[in-house]
Amino acid sequence: MAKFDLVIAIDGTAASGKGTISKKIAHNYSVPHLDTGLLYRFVGYKVLKGFDPVSAVDQLSMSEMEALDLKTLKVSNAASEVAKNPLVRAKLLEFQRSFASQPGGAVLDGRDIGTVICPNANIKFFISASAEIRARRRYKELLGLGHSISLNKVLKDIQERDERDTNRKDSPLVPAVDAKKIDTSDMTIAEVYASVSRVIESELKK
Ligand code: DC
C-alpha cells in the first residue's frame, strides 16, 4: 500500500492488454480499479436498446454494468461511437474523477485518463501493440467466452475502433507527454507487468 494517494493512469489501444495489467496493479498495490471502457460500453449497450446517449449515461449503474455482457463486438463498436459524443464524455468525466480521488488512490484504464481525466496522475502508462497481435488476443478471448466470430472480423473491428478513437475531436486517444510507452507486441503479460512495476516501485521510493 502506498503512503500517499497513488493515482495510476493507463491508456492504450483496444485489446492492448491494458485491462489485465491494470487489474494486476490494482490487486498488488491494493488500490481500486476502474475500467472506464465499461462506462462507454454501458452507454453503447443502452443506445443499441433504443435510448439516447445522454439519458443512457443517467442510467449508469455499477451493478447493472457488471451483470451485462458488454464485451461483444456490437457493443464495442457502439461504445466507440458514443465515445465521440462530447456530452457523453462530459457527463462521464465527474464520475471518473471522483473515482480517481478516493483516499489511497486508484488505477483507471481507458483512452484519455492521463490526458483529460487525471492529468496529475502520479504515474501514466500508454500501452499498445500491433493491430494483428491485438486481434489475435481478442479473438482468443472471445472464443473463450463462447462467441463465434472470425479472426478477420475481429481485426477489422479493432482497426475501425483505432481509427475512431484516435481521430475523434473530443479527447482522442493520444499518449500523454509524460506517459511511459510500452509496446506489448512481443511481450508476455508477465514481462509487461515486470516493466510497469519497475516504474511504480521507483516512483514509490521518491
Ligand atoms: O477499453 P474498451 O475497449 O473497453 O473501450 C471501449 C470504447 O470506449 C473504446 O473504443 C473507446 C471508448 N473509451 C473512451 O473513449 N475513453 C475511455 N476512457 C475509455 C473507453
pLDDT at 44 over 90: yes
pLDDT the model gives residue 145? 87
| Ligand 1 atom closest to residue 11's alpha carbon, by position in its atom list | 18
Q: Mean pLDDT lowest for which of 43-47, 61-65, 143-147?
A: 143-147
Query: What is the Å distance from ligand 1's center to 77 Cα?
Result: 10
pLDDT at 95 over 70: yes
- Residue located nearest, by CA, to atom 3 of ligand 1: 14
- Non-local (6+) Cβ contacts of 152 within 8 A are none
Q: Note whether residue 154 is domain-resident.
A: yes
Share of the chain above pLDDT 70, in %: 99
Residue 3 above 90 pLDDT?
no
Round to whole Å and give the CA distance between 167 and 105: 30
Q: Is residue 76 part of a domain?
A: yes
The whole domain housing 35 covers 6-180
Residue 7 amino acid letter: V
Instruction: Please indicate, yes or no, if residue 191 is contained in any of the structural domains.
Output: no
pLDDT of residue 147: 86
**1 pLDDT higher than 60:** no
In short, whether 34's Cβ falls inside 6 Å of ligand 1 is: no
Nearest CA to ligand 1 atom 9: 80
> Does any ligand 1 atom lie closer than 6 A to the CB of residue 16?
no
Q: Is residue 194, in this structure, part of any structural domain at all?
A: no
CA 194/CA 186 separation, integer angstroms: 14
Count how many domains the chain has: 1
Phi-psi region of 69 (alpha: psi -120 to 50; beta: other; left: phi over 0): beta
Q: Is residue 192 part of a domain?
A: no
pLDDT greater than 60 at residue 184 = yes
pLDDT beyond 70 at 2: no
Identify whether 71 is part of a domain: yes
**The domain spanning residue 129 has which CATH number?**
3.40.50.300
